[in-house]
């Protein structure tokens, strides 16, 4: 099976940088992705890393190290609208098993 | 351009009642999923489907059944509801390969309370 660990809460001020770490254990790794969820609404896709390195999408970046089973999401120039829950997720690619499992989520609170 | 639509959005049941949650997607996605979300526990996979006519168990399948008779629809059934099934249920769909398989589109959620 899979397990993912990420911090439960992070608080920061507007304009700051926040890094959300995610460590995972899976028997057949097939990529790490990140999702954002506002106030219990529908989660939305942010980024995906299949290979080692940094992927940048505007103010958000995601990093993956497969050898360390570790990734992070970097939120730069924080804005109030970034207050949300952030989930890392891994897909286990074994035979026909294409389950996507999520971490418990990190609640980011942005203060003025 | 609806994406993923879940019905109903809210429902209150009494213990022992049955109900079905409907999920419909208009993106021609192969994969569909049902997750439940409880406070502090993230999204837990109940059942999923990799194509029309196929279903598979996720992490927490007990007490639920699913069917995928048509590619665009994925139904989640509770045969005898229990208070432990009080939760927010999310349906999602995705493509079946590469990046598309990792980009899930979620519905708005169905909030179920079992008394």
Residue of A nearest to B32 (CA): A99
Higher per-residue confidence, A27 vs B34: B34
Would the pLDDT of A3 be above 50? yes
Would the pLDDT of A96 be above 60? no
CA B46 to chain A, closest CA, distance in angstroms equals: 10
pLDDT-based confidence at residue A71 (cuts at 50, 70, 90): very high
Nearest residue to B81 via CA among B6, B12, B2, B7? B12
- By percentage, how much of chain A surpasses pLDDT 70? 93
Would the pLDDT of B96 be above 90? no
Q: Which residues contact A67 (CB under 8 A, 6 or more apart)?
A: A52
Nearest residue to B75 via CA among B48, B106, B115? B48
Give the position of tokens 């009494």.
B14
A44 and chain B: CB distance < 8 Å anywhere? yes
Rounded CA-CA distance B29/B102 in Å is: 12
User: What is the pLDDT at residue A95?
Assistant: 47
Q: Which of A40, A89, A104 sits opposite B41 (nearest CB)?
A: A104
Sheet of strand B4-7: strand arrangement: B4-7, B19-25, B73-78, B64-67
Residue burial B43-82, b: 16+ Cβ < 10 Å; e: rest = bbbbbbbbeeeebeebbbbeebebebeebbebbbebeebe
What's the rounded mean pLDDT across residues B94-99? 82
Q: Which of A8, A30, A99 sits opposite B45 (nearest CB)?
A: A99
What's the rounded mean pLDDT across residues A11-28? 93
pLDDT-based confidence at residue A1 (cuts at 50, 70, 90): low
A3 and chain B: CB distance < 8 Å anywhere? no
What average pLDDT does the structure give for chain A?
A: 91
Nearest residue to B52 via CA among B35, B23, B32? B32
pLDDT-based confidence at residue B115 (cuts at 50, 70, 90): very high
A24 and chain B: CB distance < 8 Å anywhere? no
Residue of A nearest to B9 (CA): A41
- Digit-coded pLDDT (tens) for B32-87: 999 999 987 889 999 999 999 999 999 899 999 999 999 999 999 999 999 999 99
Q: Give chain A's count of helices (H) and strands (E).
A: 0, 11
Would the pLDDT of B22 be above 70? yes
């Amino acid at each position: 099976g899979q397990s993912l660990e990420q911090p439960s809460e992070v608080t920061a001020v507007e304009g700051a940088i926040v890094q959300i770490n995610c460590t995972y254990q899976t028997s057949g790794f097939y990529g790490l992705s990140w999702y954002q969820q506002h106030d219990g609404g529908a989660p939305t896709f942010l980024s995906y890393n299949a290979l080692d390195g940094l992927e940048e999408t505007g103010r958000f970046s995601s990093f993956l190290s497969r050898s360390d089973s570790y990734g992070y999401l970097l939120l730069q120039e924080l804005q109030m609208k970034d207050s949300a829950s952030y989930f890392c997720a891994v897909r286990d690619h074994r035979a026909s098993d294409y389950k996507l499992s999520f971490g418990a989520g990190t609640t980011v609170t942005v203060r003025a | 351009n609806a994406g993923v639509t879940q019905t109903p959005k809210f429902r209150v049941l009494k213990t022992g009642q049955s109900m079905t949650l409907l999920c419909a997607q208009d993106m021609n996605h192969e994969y569909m999923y049902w997750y439940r979300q409880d406070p502090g526990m993230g999204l837990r996979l109940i059942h999923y489907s990799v194509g029309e006519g196929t279903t598979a168990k996720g992490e927490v399948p007990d007490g639920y059944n699913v069917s995928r008779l048509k590619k665009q629809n994925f139904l989640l059934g509770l045969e005898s509801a229990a208070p432990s099934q009080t939760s927010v249920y999310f349906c999602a769909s995705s493509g079946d390969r590469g990046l598309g398989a990792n980009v899930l589109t979620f519905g708005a959620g169905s909030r179920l309370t079992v008394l």
